[in-house]
Amino acid sequence: MTLPNAHGQPVLETGGDDDVIEGPLYAPGKRLFPQAAHGRFRNIKWTILVITLGIYYGLPFLRWNRGPGEPSQAVLVDLANRRFYFFFIEIWPQELYYVAGLLILAAMILFLMNAVAGRVWCGYLCPQTVWTDLFYAVERLVEGDARRQHQRQAEGWTFSNILHTGYKHILWLMIAWWTGGAWVLYFADAPTLVRELATFQAPAVAWFSIAILAVLTYLLGGFMREQVCIYMCPWPRIQAALTDEDALNVTYRYDRGEPRMSLKTGLAARSHGQAAGDCIDCNQCVAVCPTGVDIRHGSQLGCVQCGLCIDACDNVMAKINRPHGLIAYDNENNIKRRMAGEPAIYRIVRPRTILYSVAIVLIGSVMLARLVTRPTDGITIAHDRNPLYVVDANGSVRNAYTVQIVNEQDQPRELNFSVEGLKGAQVQVIGVAGQGPLFPIEVNGDDTRDLRVIITGPMSTPKHASIKVTFSVTDPLRKTTMSATDNFKTP
């Protein structure tokens, strides 16, 4: 059901109300003026904001020595050479499954976070939340607090308002530009690209990418804000399906808050021995909410669970000398238990969280094991298809292959190449002297080398045959061997 809240924003409730929807489904967007919150969760959010943005903006400048001829950037996506560098890890295109593993791991961690504390990702870590927070902070810095912003809107376009609004948008655009700028630094050597950008020498694609990301940051952080969370983001929908009644969500403890009444009425009611809730209906929880919801309506789609209403409510509770925690990370089960006079139970460890944790550990260890033991050389074979085989002057049959040898180490290596499986065959490697069985092949560091290998079968090779042939590269120093197989075809 859709009900306008204090801001006229539709509130999408997940509760079991089966009211018929009245009126139009469309509600025009309204600008929110959330008040600044102060307290525990706000401080956590500031800390996370500084850390995450610090990582985002600063990481490209972190150096990592990989030796001469190799990029010295700790985190780099080298699209031109198809390499992904992450500190000591170097991912080649054929190892992209590793990135898929990281994504699966990230999803599992997200699920675990959800099982423990609901949309904790949305409230604290999501880039949309972090940047919106930053944009709100700038807005309050320039235009004043929520009350002053309301005033300015009522005043219309006075000189002061034009000046302040312009100033705000300039600051926003600068942040947005910096955001796009930091993004492209992950795709090229950061100091070089910064110099190129400063001297207008940077490639067009860099400018273009920065512009797109800057515009998106500006729009998403400055204008769309909570609408991204409510209308655009798929995660709330998925999250709602994944959550359970034991997850700790930002919860208004109505067992304690209701019946809500003003401070005076409440005092009077209590003095007469009548029931009075702790909620004094001051609306502070709604005033600070960045998505404009009223948490007292219960768990709902609009709530990103940032905990700012907890801070606001706790401050009020402190002023009226009531215990804090009227709004807190809790769940419906515990409210019911308390109402029934039972103690609250917090079940962080339960099958769901254990399952996610086990999955995380499992995937993490498989990936780590693979990372540690993954070979640094490789071999792939491509059989010539046209022609598949050639009959030579004397009637012997010849097959040709393109063999690619990979050296993922930074140093050039001397490897031994050999072919087995066809007795009496004559092997020729174009450009490499010798008749075998071992062909010394030098492969440059962090490079591949393509060999054209030609195998001529002995006269005794049967007709209409497909004979398995094994191609191997051996590192004589490290005693490692990589093999691949293909077939030798005869007419």
Given the complex with another protein, which of 189 and 384 has the nearer CB atom? 384
Tell me which residue of 301, 315, 300, 299 sits closest to 254, measured CA to CA.
299
**Cα–Cα distance list, 94 to 144, 194, 439 (Å):** 53, 31, 26
With CB under 8 A as the contact rule, the residue among 242, 367, 454, 465 that binds another protein is 454
Long-range pairs of 188-191 with CB within 8 A, sequence gap ≥ 24? 188/76, 189/71, 189/72, 189/73, 189/76, 190/60, 190/61, 190/73, 191/61
For residue 30, the minimal CB distance to another protein (Å) is 9
Using rule CB under 8 A, residue 273 touches another protein: no
Using rule CB under 8 A, residue 215 touches another protein: no
Given the complex with another protein, which of 109 and 454 has the nearer CB atom? 454
For residue 434, the minimal CB distance to another protein (Å) is 13
Using rule CB under 8 A, residue 450 touches another protein: yes
Contacts with another protein, 47-86, as mask; x by CB under 8 A: ----------------------------------------
Return the structure tokens found at 247: 């997850």
- Burial of residue 242 (CB within 10 Å: 0-12, 13-18, 19+) is middle
Using rule CB under 8 A, residue 425 touches another protein: no
Contacts with another protein, 23-52, as mask; x by CB under 8 A: xx---xx-----------------------
**Cα–Cα distance list, 373 to 67, 101, 124, 433 (Å):** 22, 16, 36, 33
Per DSSP, 290 falls in state T
What is the separation of C-alpha 389 from the centre of its chain, rounded to a whole number of angstroms?
Answer: 50
Using rule CB under 8 A, residue 414 touches another protein: no
Q: Are strands 466-475 and 390-391 parallel, antiparallel or unpaired?
A: unpaired
The stretch among 13-21, 241-249, 283-291, 426-434 that binds another protein (CB under 8 A) is 426-434
Using rule CB under 8 A, residue 431 touches another protein: yes
For residue 62, the minimal CB distance to another protein (Å) is 31
Using rule CB under 8 A, residue 464 touches another protein: no
With CB under 8 A as the contact rule, the residue among 169, 324, 449, 489 that binds another protein is 449
Return the structure tokens found at 305: 């669970």
Using rule CB under 8 A, residue 436 touches another protein: no
**Cα–Cα distance list, 3 to 48, 293, 470 (Å):** 33, 11, 71
Using rule CB under 8 A, residue 298 touches another protein: no
For residue 399, the minimal CB distance to another protein (Å) is 9
Given the complex with another protein, which of 6 and 368 has the nearer CB atom? 6
Site residues (CB under 8 A) for another protein, limited to 184-203: none
Using rule CB under 8 A, residue 234 touches another protein: no
Site residues (CB under 8 A) for another protein, limited to 369-398: 384-387, 390-395, 398
Q: Rounded CA gap, 469 and 156, in Å?
A: 81
What is the separation of C-alpha 277 from the centre of its chain, rounded to a whole number of angstroms?
Answer: 42
Using rule CB under 8 A, residue 442 touches another protein: yes
Tell me which residue of 327, 307, 302 sits closest to 9, measured CA to CA.
302
Q: Rounded CA gap, 204 and 214, in Å?
A: 15
b/e string for 195-211 if b means 16 or more Cβ within 10 A? eebeeeebeeebeebbe
For residue 26, the minimal CB distance to another protein (Å) is 9
| Total residues interacting with another protein, rule: CB under 8 A | 24
The footprint of another protein (CB under 8 A) covers: 23-24, 28-29, 384-387, 390-395, 398, 400, 428, 430-431, 442, 449-450, 452, 454
